[in-house]
Structures are given as structure tokens and as C-alpha cells.
Amino acid sequence: MKTLTEIVVPQLAESLVSATIDKWLKQPGDWIDIYEPVCEILTDKVNAELPSTVAGKMVKILVGKGETVPVGTAICLVETEGGANEEQPVQAGAVTAAQTTTGFPDSAQDAPMRGRFSPAVQQLAAEHSVRLTEVTGTGLGGRITRKDVLAYVASGAGKSNSAAGAATAAAQSAVDAAAQVRSSGLHLTETPRLPKIEVEGFAGAGRGDSFIDVTPIRNTIARNMRQSVSEIPHAWTMIEVDVTNLVLLRNKLKDEFMKREGINLTYLAFLLKAVVNAIKDFPIMNSMWAVDKIIVKRDINISLAVGTEDSVLTPVIKNADHKNVAGLAKEIDELARKTREGKLTLSDMQGGTFTVNNTGSFGSILSYPIINYPQAAILTFESIVKRPVVINDMLAVRSMANLCLSLDHRILDGVICGRFLQRVKDNLESFNQESKLY
């Protein structure tokens, strides 16, 4: 039996969101071997030949020369001899499953495309609770198109058949699974392609909603966050620190520091010093999970979460344990400046082993941070607030701050993190008016 396979634009680069068809190397009617280039695509300063994922005959070009399409878009159809197609055993299996689930009536020979539904068609069918097996396909090889579904809905057929819903859902999940593994040919990343969302007919209606294009950086943030939350079992703990003496120390030194160095002496610099010294005592905090082992990093490279108007980046202070408070203050100032000016280089962003986020800078007193994958933990430094505190059974007004820690519970447990936080607290509270910056 003959089947049609879509060739899609693969995720050829992590930052790749779309590509332009530069030229077609194959035309409808041409035979294509597996892995043979079908077209050249263009992205940024790269020309790349795009290989076919299957062997077969080119049937149709879906995206013309010069057009730019998102990653994951089908760009051409290739007709393959069924069965012999080893590249896509999962797809074949899943379609069979879909057929059995729905009691698919047609013989495959008559209508090779009847078991295959495009995501747009599936979505449309789901919106209208349409059972796709009852729709007559007019597309290529009996394939059901959006038009067919709409015509079916308009005809009023199947309206009464609400019991079909469950079967449709089952069939659809099977087909979804097939769509997910629809081979890009190059399994370049493990990241599943984002589902394409049809907004047509839903967007309008004058509800005042608007759409924001997802920028590459937003996309990267989204993927990293999702990967962290889905892979790392997060746990959370918090400690409060009395920073009264630190406040006095900083107030004493900051003007002179500004005069001498030209930069702000921030609390964050003192916190980093306290954290780095604590990591030295608890090296397991500076580690990452590697399935069959835990890698404890030798260098202490602190990722600093720096927010901009519409993103958050984590530039790295390398070998933070080799720097004193003044050195850390300079690094913080420089990285923050480079971040705001968009001048960070790749090497500024690489090699982080532990992340610190100065959430207090925007007034937070408590946060639940997501670990900067693949690190083991992330610590936030919350706002310094004057509060009544009981000391020696007397009330005192002290400057207090919370430190929050999210941890990878595969690597770390409460006891070790408790001790680590206690050490950070001790380090911070031991700053006094005699402490040196250099």
C-alpha cells in the first residue's frame, strides 16, 4: 500500500524558530532516497540541505521557494510504499491502533489517507465533537480536510451522536501520539515540538484579546523552565536572617566605595560571599544529577538571575570563591550592566553551578524559585525589612531578611540544606563593622 508522508522543518538549532525555503532540489514526480536532500533552507547565516526522512516519490510541494515557515511545518509530501517504511514504525502502529479503536470501516486499500488526520483537522473535530470516521474525505487519497469537517458540521450530521465523544477522544489520543513522533528525520533534540494552535475563528469575536509573538529568548526561557520543573523534583525551604549588623556595615562603607570604585556596594555582594563560603563547606550544593552519578563541580560559578523588562537571564560569576566582597560587587555591577545593554556573550552565560536571585530588589519577601537546570539548587535573597524580634526575651527592632532555597530532592535532602542555610545565615550575621571588603 502507498502512504503519504510529510517532510517537516526539523529543529535544526535550539534557537531556530523558523526557516526560509531557499530552493527546491526535488520536484513533484522525482524519486527521493532516504536522507537525500529535498530542499535548501535558509536561517540566519546558514544554508542547510534538508534531508528526506523517507524514501519515495515526491508528490507535492507545500511551501514555495522564498516562503518562511515555523519549525515543524510540513513542507512537502512524499509517497512511500507502505510496510517497508522502517523509519516510522511507531506511526504505522499508532494508526493501526486508531483504526481498531474506532472500528474503522474502510479497507486501507481504498483510502490510504483515511486514517491520518492533520492536527488542524483533529482540533476542529474536537471543537465540534465530530467523529472523524464518519466524515467523508475529499482530500488526497481520501484524506479528511478542514473543509470536509466544516461541511459535515454544517450538514448537521452526527449532532445527536454524543456517545461518539469517548471513541473520538481515544482515537485522537492515539493519532496525537503518532503526530508527536511524526519523524523530523533528525532526532536532534529531545524537546517535543510545541503543539500548533489553530486560532482561526477563535481569535476574533471582539473580546479585546491580543497576541504577543514569542521571541526566541522567551522560547528558551519557557523550555528551560519546563525542563527544570518536569525533570527535577523540587523541594523548598526558608530561613530568616538578622542582617542588622550588615546594614550598619554597608551604610558605613558605601559612600567611600562609590567614590573609590564608582559602583554601588550592594547587599547582594555580601550575600554572595556568604553563600560561596557556605558552598565551600557543603560542596554537594554545587553539583548536578547525572542519572547514574552526581557530579560535584570543583569550580564555584554563581549564576546571577538578572531581570530585564521582558526576560530573565542568568549570567555567571566564574570562580566566585576567588573573589572578595569588592570583587563580587564589581562583577555584579558589570554583569547587570551587560545584561541590560544586551551585551552578554556566550561565555558570560556558561558554566554556572549554583544560582542566586536577588528577589528582594523588587520587594518580594518570599518566593518559590525554579532551579536553573541542571544545577542542584537556587537561593533567593528577599527584601530586608525591619521587624520586631525577640532577643533574650526582649523585643528588639532588627533588620531581617528571608533566604529561600529550592533544591533538587534527588541530590539534596532537608538536613543538608538546613545545615547549608544555617551556615549562610551564620556567615551573613557575622559581618560586622570591622569586616573588610578587600
Partner 1 sequence: MAEAEYENGLKRLDARYIGLLEYAEAWELQKACVKEIDREERQETLLLLQHPPTYTIGSDKHPEHLLLGEEELAERGIALFQIDRGGDITYHGPGQLVGYPLLYLDAVGLDLHAYLRNLEQVIINWLGEYGITAGRKPEYTGVWVGDLKIAAIGVKFNKARHRRGFITSHGFALNIKAGIAADGFSGIIPCGIEQYGVTSFNDLTGKQLTVEEAAVQLLPHFEQVFQYKADTLVK
Known catalytic residues? 409, 413
List all residues 6 or more positions away from 82 whose beta carbon is below 8 Å from its beta carbon: 1, 2, 3, 92, 112
Decide whether 87 or 176 has the Cβ nearer to partner 1: 87
**Least Å distance between CB 197 and partner 1?**
25
Instruction: State yes or no: residue 379 binds partner 1 (CB under 8 A).
Output: no
Number of residues this chain uses to bind partner 1 (CB under 8 A): 29
First to last CA, the chain: 77
Instruction: State yes or no: residue 312 binds partner 1 (CB under 8 A).
Output: no
Q: Which of 4, 50, 241, 377 binds partner 1 (CB under 8 A)?
A: 50
Instruction: Give the CA distances from residue 187 to residues 68, 70, 87, 183, in Å, rounded to whole numbers and listed in that order.
Output: 22, 17, 12, 8
Instruction: State yes or no: residue 319 binds partner 1 (CB under 8 A).
Output: no
What is the rounded distance in angstroms from the CA atom of residue 259 to the CA atom of residue 68? Answer: 53
Q: Which amino acid is at 429?
A: E
Instruction: State yes or no: residue 13 binds partner 1 (CB under 8 A).
Output: yes
Instruction: State yes or no: residue 119 binds partner 1 (CB under 8 A).
Output: no
Provide the CA 142 distance to its chain's centre, in angstroms: 38
**Least Å distance between CB 339 and partner 1?**
12
Angle between helix 414-429 and 244-261 (nearest 10):
60
Instruction: State yes or no: residue 64 binds partner 1 (CB under 8 A).
Output: no
**Least Å distance between CB 344 and partner 1?**
9
Stretch that binds partner 1, among 9-17, 80-88, 111-119, 410-418 (CB under 8 A): 9-17
Determine whether 213 is exposed, middle or buried from the number of CB atoms within 10 Å of its CB (0-12, 13-18, 19+).
exposed
**Least Å distance between CB 370 and partner 1?**
24
The beta-carbon contacts of 217-220 under 8 Å, at least 24 apart in sequence, are: 217/311, 217/313, 218/310, 218/311, 219/15, 219/17, 220/14, 220/15
Stretch that binds partner 1, among 34-42, 131-139, 311-319, 423-431 (CB under 8 A): 34-42
131, 144 Cβ separation under 8 angstroms: no
**Least Å distance between CB 64 and partner 1?**
15
Decide whether 37 or 142 has the Cβ nearer to partner 1: 37
What is the rounded distance in angstroms from the CA atom of residue 202 to the CA atom of residue 253? Answer: 59
What is the rounded distance in angstroms from the CA atom of residue 250 to the CA atom of residue 326? Answer: 12
Instruction: State yes or no: residue 16 binds partner 1 (CB under 8 A).
Output: yes
**Least Å distance between CB 16 and partner 1?**
7
Q: Which of 107, 160, 230, 345 binds partner 1 (CB under 8 A)?
A: 345
What is the rounded distance in angstroms from the CA atom of residue 250 to the CA atom of residue 183? Answer: 59
Instruction: State yes or no: residue 31 binds partner 1 (CB under 8 A).
Output: no
Instruction: State yes or no: residue 162 binds partner 1 (CB under 8 A).
Output: no
What is the rounded distance in angstroms from the CA atom of residue 410 to the CA atom of residue 408? Answer: 5
Instruction: State yes or no: residue 191 binds partner 1 (CB under 8 A).
Output: no
Instruction: State yes or no: residue 14 binds partner 1 (CB under 8 A).
Output: yes
**Least Å distance between CB 350 and partner 1?**
11
Q: Which of 163, 205, 212, 346 binds partner 1 (CB under 8 A)?
A: 346
384, 361 Cβ separation under 8 angstroms: no
Nearest Cα residue to 18 out of 92, 71, 83, 76: 71
Binding footprint of partner 1 on the chain (CB under 8 A): 12-16, 22, 35-37, 40, 42-51, 186-189, 342-343, 345-347
